[in-house]
Amino acid sequence: MQTVAKPGAGLLADAYWQRFSVPYDYPVVFTRGLFQPENPVLVEALSRREPGKRHRAIVFIDGGTLAACPSLAADVKAYFEAHAETMRLLVPAIEVPGGETIKTALTHIEAVQDAIHANSIDRHSYVIAVGGGAMLDAVGLAAATAHRGVRLVRVPTTVLAQNDSGVGVKNAVNLKGLKNYIGTFAPPWAVLSDFDFLSALQRRDRIAGIAEAVKVALIRDGGFFEWLEEHVDELATCTPAVEEEMIRRCAELHMRQIALGGDPFENGSARPLDFGHWSAHKLEAMTRHHIRHGEAVAIGIGLDARYSVLAGLLEPGLDERIAVLLEGLGLRIFHPALVRRLDGERLEVLAGLQEFREHLGGELCVTLLGGIGTGVEVNRIEPKLVEASIAWLAARES
C-alpha cells in the first residue's frame, strides 16, 4: 500500500492507493488427435501446475461438433479411462447447443452452471469446452462466474475459434439483441486446438474463419496479408497445410496484441482487433444470425476499407486489392440488409456505431486503415461516406 498523499493536493489527497499486478499465462497448443490415448497434451495441460494429482473434470461438447464427430463423446471417455491415474471424468460429456443459439438465451448458461454445481466443480477442478467460438464464449462465461472462476480448458473446433476467439481472454453472451452484452474477461487455463476437427466442417465455415486472418493482417502485418494473397487459391480450397499455417499465424498475431497491446481487458475505448466489426455485429443481428460471424466480418472489412479510401486515410486502389482477396477466398462483401433503412431514412446498420461505442464506453473509437498492415483510430464516422461505401460494395455484386 502506498503512503497517503499530502493534504491539499486535491479531492483524492487523503486516499490510500492499492496497486498490484497479476501475471497471466496459459499455453496455446496446436495438435492432432487430442483425445487419442497416446496424445499427452491434455494430461500435461491439466497437470502443468499440480503434477502427481488426480484431476477432476467435466466436459461440454458443442452439439454441432458432436453431430459432425459422432464418436467424440466416447473418445473423451476412453481418453480419461486411459489416463485414470491422473484425471477423472466426473460425468459423461454433456452436449450443449452450438452457434449463436447458446448465446441468445441465458437458460443455456444456467444449465452449464447447474452441471458445474451438481458435479462439485471447484477452483482446482476443470471445465473442458469442446466446440466453436460461440459455445466457448458461453461455457467460458459460466466457468468464469462459478466460484468467481473455475479452470477452463478451451478446445476450439472451428477455423475462427482456433485462429481468433478461442485464444483470447473474453467470454460473453448476447442480450436483448445486443452482441456480447453480458460477459467477462477471464483467461483460460489452456487452449488446445486439434486440427483434425477442421476436416469435419462445412467448407462455408472453414472459409468464413479466414476473414479474421484478413482482418488482423490488415491492421498488424502487411507481410501476412501478402502471404494470404499468394495462397488465396489453396485457402479457398481448404488445403490443410496452408490452412493450418494461416491459423497459427493469425493466432500468434492475436496473442501478440493481447499481450503487448497495453489493454488486454479493454479498459480504454479503442478496439484495434475489432476492425470491420462495428457493422459486422449489427449485420449479424439484422440477419438473425443467418450469416456467419466471419462472413459478417468480411463484409465489415470491405465496408471499412472502402470508407478508409473515401476518408483519405488509405491509398486509392488498396480497397480494390482487399476486396479481390476476400472475393477470391469465396467471401461475399455485400449483403442486402446493408441498405435497409429505419423509417425509410437512416441506414439501420448505422445503429451499430452507437452499440459499438456503448460496449466499451467513452467516445466512439473505430479502427480504419492507414495502409496494408497499419490500423488507425478515428472518433467519427460520416454517414454519407458509409452510404457511398455500401453503394461501392453493392456495385461489385451487380
Q: Determine the pLDDT at residue 179.
A: 83
Q: Is the pLDDT of residue 269 over 60?
A: no
Q: Which of 182, 210, 181, 218 is nearest to 318 (CA)?
A: 218
Task: Give the contacts of 237 (CB within 8 A, at least 6 positions apart).
Answer: none
pLDDT tens, position by position, 10-67: 677 778 888 888 899 999 999 999 999 999 999 999 999 999 999 999 999 999 999 9
Per the confidence metrics, is the pTM higher than 0.85? yes
Q: What is the DSSP letter of 13?
A: T
Radius of gyration of the chain (CA): 22
Least reliable range by pLDDT among 249-263, 290-304, 308-322: 249-263
Q: 57: burial class by Cβ within 10 Å (0-12, 13-18, 19+)?
A: buried
Mean pLDDT in residue range 261-272:
71
Q: What is the DSSP string of 139-153?
A: HHHHHHHGGG--EEE
Mean pLDDT to the nearest integer, 197-214: 97
User: Which residue segments constitute the domains of the chain, with CATH numbers given?
Assistant: 28-200 (3.40.50.1970), 203-397 (1.20.1090.10)
What pLDDT shows up at residue 9?
61
| Contact yes or no for 294/133 (Cβ under 8 A) | no
Average pLDDT of the chain, as a whole number:
93
- Where b means 16+ CB within 10 Å and e means fewer, 236-257 reads bebeeebbbebbbbbbbbbeeb
Query: pLDDT grade, residue 263 (50/70/90)?
Result: confident
Q: With bands split at pLDDT 50, 70 and 90, how would you rate the model's confidence at 348?
A: very high
CB atoms within 10 A of CB 351: 14
Q: Give the HSE-up count for residue 57: Cα atoms under 13 Å, Cβ half-sphere.
A: 32
DSSP 8-state assignment for residue 259: H
Nearest C-alpha neighbor of 295 from the set 206, 199, 189: 206
Lowest-confidence segment of 54-68, 146-160, 215-229, 347-361 by average pLDDT: 347-361
Q: Cell numbers at residue 242, please?
A: 496452408
Q: What are the φ/ψ torsions at residue 191 (nearest 5 degrees)?
A: -125, 115
Helices (DSSP H) in 196-239: which residue ranges?
Answer: 203-208, 210-220, 222-230, 232-236
The C-alpha atoms of residue 209 and residue 164 are separated, in whole angstroms, by 9
Q: Tell how far CA 334 is from the center of its chain.
A: 22
7 has a pLDDT exceeding 70: no
Closest CA to 106 of 72, 73, 145: 145
The CA dihedral of 258, 263, 267, 271, to the nearest 10 degrees, is: -70
How confident is the model over 331-358, as a mean pLDDT? 91
CA distance 206 to 172: 23
Give the whole-angstrom CA distance, residue 256 versus residue 241: 23
* 351, 338 Cβ separation under 8 angstroms: no
Return the amino acid letter for 181: Y
pLDDT level of residue 1 (50, 70, 90 thresholds): very low
Tell me, what's the pLDDT at 355? 85
Q: Which grid coordinates belong to 25?
A: 499465462
Bridge partner list, 129: 60, 154
pLDDT at 4 over 60: no
**pLDDT given at position 177:** 79
Residue 6 pLDDT: 52
